Amino acid sequence: MATCQQLAAAFGETNLVTAPPHPKGEGVFPREISEVMFHTGLPGHVPGIFTLRLEGRPKAFNVLTASDAEGDLDVLCVGAPSAKSSLRYCVDIDHGHVVLIDLEEESVELINNSISTFLEFLLHIGLFLKSADDQANDQQKNPYFDLLVAHLSRVDAFALKNAQNWWPTIMDRIHGR
């Protein structure tokens, strides 16, 4: 799992956000979710892919109920791709999976196996974007992009398995930047 130190080094200490204390205490969430939300934190912003600065509801760290083909899910909102997006990144409180909820289409897509792997994706894509901005040309960027995809495939193979899923779409977008 990405550490607080790695995230602070990548995004800046002031851009690392933890959830406000929950009225029922940290024990209301499973251990891994509590660890990330209350201790490790999330980056406040990763350009083009993630933000905690949301317009509209639900806000980051709100609990809500979403429905998918298998029934209702209690989820914790952990951000969005952009401030004005109708999409929300949420963690399924019961199973720990990270899902992408489209509030307008009322659809739910599984995107990561856990909050820890989601955080790894944010960290390494954020580092790639930062280093890609420093690279002079596409020939320098391509080997790093291939290494990024290989690493993320080891972290959470499911997330990159289907080209129609969220993360492959994001990877195509950042590769073409």
Q: Is the bond into 23 cis (omega within 30 degrees of 0)? A: no
Rounded to an integer, what distance in angstroms lies between the CA atom of residue 106 and that of residue 110? 14
Please give the radius of gyration of the chain, using alpha carbons only, rounded to the nearest integer: 16
Q: Which residues does the chain have with pLDDT short of 70?
A: 23-27, 68, 133-142, 177
How high is the pLDDT of residue 151?
A: 94
Return the residue matching tokens 């992408």: 100
Residue boundaries of the structural domains of the chain: 4-114, 117-175
Q: What is the pLDDT of residues 107-140, one digit of tens each?
A: 889 999 999 999 999 999 999 988 876 555 555 5
Q: What is the pLDDT of residues 156-167, one digit of tens each?
A: 999 999 888 899
Angle at 11 between CA 144 and CA 101, to 5 degrees: 85
Can you say whether the dihedral through the CA atoms of 59, 64, 70, 71 is positive or negative? negative
How high is the pLDDT of residue 58?
A: 92
